[in-house]
Amino acid sequence: GQQVMQIPQYQHVQEGEDFTTYCNSSTTLSNIQWYKQRPGGHPVFLIQLVKSGEVKKQKRLTFQFGEAKKNSSLHITATQTTDVGTYFCAGSSINAGGTSYGKLTFGQGTILTVHP
């Protein structure tokens, strides 16, 4: 079945440093989504990428979708303590049909700690 791998599993940074998490899928994706989960909270949708090579920005966050639509990354510039949490990528396989249509497979997540 489809697998989505995320690295690193943990990242500790000093406030002001940059942060990047990477996501790789075993299959070509039709779309990839990113979610953030604060400690003790629930996943909250950040963004969706659907086009090959797509780049989207949200303030200090930059999201990329690979040309082959099998990988993605999230980069945070100048981290702040409010960025603390777990960042998940989740993708739908381009070959998904029938009961798999629209199903998201989540990566294991990257836990970000920001030291003030």
Partner 1 sequence: DAGVIQSPRHEVTEMGQEVTLRCKPISGHDYLFWYRQTMMRGLELLIYFNNNVPIDDSGMPEDRFSAKMPNASFSTLKIQPSEPRDSAVYFCASSPIVAGPNYEQYFGPGTRLTVT
Where do contacts with partner 1 occur on this chain (CB under 8 A)?
30-31, 33, 41-45, 48, 50, 88, 92, 99-109
**Shortest distance (Å) from residue 114 CB to partner 1:** 21
Residue whose CB is less far from partner 1, 42 or 59: 42
Residue 33 CA to residue 106 CA, distance in Å, equals 9
**For residues 93 and 28, is the Cβ–Cβ distance under 8 A?**
yes
**Shortest distance (Å) from residue 77 CB to partner 1:** 24
| Pairing outcome for strands 110-115 and 85-93 | antiparallel
Query: In the structure encoding, which two tokens stand for residue 74, read together?
Result: 């999230």
Residue whose CB is less far from partner 1, 64 or 79: 64
Residue whose CB is less far from partner 1, 45 or 115: 45
**Shortest distance (Å) from residue 20 CB to partner 1:** 20
| Beta-ladder partners of 37 | 86
**Shortest distance (Å) from residue 79 CB to partner 1:** 23
Residue 114 CA to residue 97 CA, distance in Å, equals 40
Query: In the structure encoding, which two tokens stand for residue 7, read together?
Result: 């690295």
Residue whose CB is less far from partner 1, 80 or 100: 100
Cα R_g (the chain), whole angstroms: 14
